[in-house]
A and B are shown apart, each in its own frame.
Chain A
């Protein structure tokens, strides 16, 4: 149990295009999902916190108009990178908190590798 999936696993796009990444909790309901970005050989940096049915809370320095987050249901959150540029190339990872398992449990997806040409 407690599986989080991401789609796609990797994507290559041209500069200026938009890319949508999906994060799904497969066997539990997630009231809160988190989006992280990880550059090569670096740690995970929190981008935003997403609560079901409400607007996402972005970390300082993260452009909310560039990284659009939608958490429309208890099992799905999406991150859209708008007008992507090469510097947005990174590994994007979501995590989800299991509403019924207690606040300590947070499960990570397998990540999405974004390459912007």
Chain B
């Protein structure tokens, strides 16, 4: 119940296309859902995050869509660029101050 399931494991998108990564969870006590971007040999960096009282949040080219009833959330990267090629992790947390639980990650390759 503490798991966050992420798909796909890898994704190849043409430059300018839309990248979509999905995550699903079981624990209804989760109340914070961030997405992180990680480049090889670096720590993860927060991209965008959402709380369950909001169905969508957009920041620049990055959008989180959240479906509370389905217990799913997704990351959309619009106008994908080669510089977006990285590993993306969804995560969830169930109460203030506790650690994040990460999905297994999606390796995105944006071809030019």
Are the CB atoms of B49 and A104 closer together than 8 Å?
A: yes
Are the CB atoms of B103 and A108 closer together than 8 Å?
A: no
- Across the interface, which residues of B come within 8 angstroms of A41, CB to CB? 107
Contact stretch, chosen from B38-46, B54-62, B76-84:
B38-46
Q: Which residue of B lies closest to A2 (CB)?
A: B46
Are the CB atoms of A106 and B103 closer together than 8 Å?
A: no
- Across the interface, which residues of B come within 8 angstroms of A24, CB to CB? none
Given A43-B105, A44-B89, also A111-B100 (CB < 8 A): no
A20 to B49 alpha-carbon distance, docked (Å): 32
Given A44-B89, A44-B102, A104-B32, also A32-B97 (CB < 8 A): yes
Are the CB atoms of A93 and B97 closer together than 8 Å?
A: no
Q: Which residue of B lies closest to A34 (CB)?
A: B99
Q: Which residue of B lies closest to A59 (CB)?
A: B99
CB distance from B68 to the nearest CB of A (A): 17
From A43, A46, A109, give the contact of B99 (CB < 8 A): A46
Are the CB atoms of A44 and B32 closer together than 8 Å?
A: no
A110 to B44 alpha-carbon distance, docked (Å): 8
Is B98 positioned at the interface, with any CB of A under 8 Å from its CB? yes
Over the window 99-110 of chain A, the binary record of Cβ atoms lying under 8 Å from chain B Cβ atoms (1 yes, 0 no) is: 000011011111
From A43, A49, A108, give the contact of B43 (CB < 8 A): A108
Q: Which 7 A-B pairs have the closest CB atoms?
A: A103-B96, A108-B43, A110-B43, A111-B43, A34-B99, A43-B102, A46-B99
- Give residues in B with beta carbon < 8 Å to A: 32, 34, 36, 41-46, 49, 51, 89, 96-105, 107
